[in-house]
Amino acid sequence: MAAGGREGFAPPGWPVEVRPPGAPDWEKTAVAWLFDLCPPDYRLHEVLRRHPVVLARFASYAVAAGIEASRRGLSTARDDLRGAVPPQAVEAALVAYEREGARLVAAARAVALVEEALRGKRFTQRL
């Protein structure tokens, strides 16, 4: 099923790595993706493997911390790296911080959507 509130519709911003809500094994793909966003040691916690909503909360905070780190790095990189690396490396670091920050902002939105679906929300397609 695909449209109009039926099982299997994924809203805009849904991660491509996760099957649409309601599709077979969609929660398994959600759990795998959420774990990929978290520090590796999170896989050691039974509660995160057994309760995907708890994992989604942990992933949300992990991604938020990454966003904050990217923002801080972007604001301090010039001073922190001046004299330690060539100027072109500083500029490349700034670009990397900008790209990583944008990737993480998109991931934060996707985590929120996945968490909503794990909590039972079903998305409807707008016409």
Q: Using CA atoms, how far apart are residues 100 and 73, in angstroms rounded to an integer?
A: 11
pLDDT in tens, 45-68: 999 999 999 999 999 999 999 999
> What tokens appear for 15 in the block?
């991660």
Q: Measured between alpha carbons, how far is residue 25 from residues 30, 53, 64, 86, 102 in Å?
A: 9, 16, 27, 49, 29
Identify whether the C-beta of residue 97 lies closer than 8 Å to the C-beta of residue 72: no
pLDDT in tens, 82-116: 999 999 999 999 999 999 999 999 999 999 999 99
Identify whether the C-beta of residue 54 lies closer than 8 Å to the C-beta of residue 48: yes
Residue 127 has pLDDT above 60, yes or no: yes
Q: How confident is the model at residue 124 (pLDDT cuts 50, 70, 90)?
A: confident
pTM: 0.89
Give pLDDT, residue 7. Answer: 60
Q: How confident is the model at residue 3 (pLDDT cuts 50, 70, 90)?
A: very low
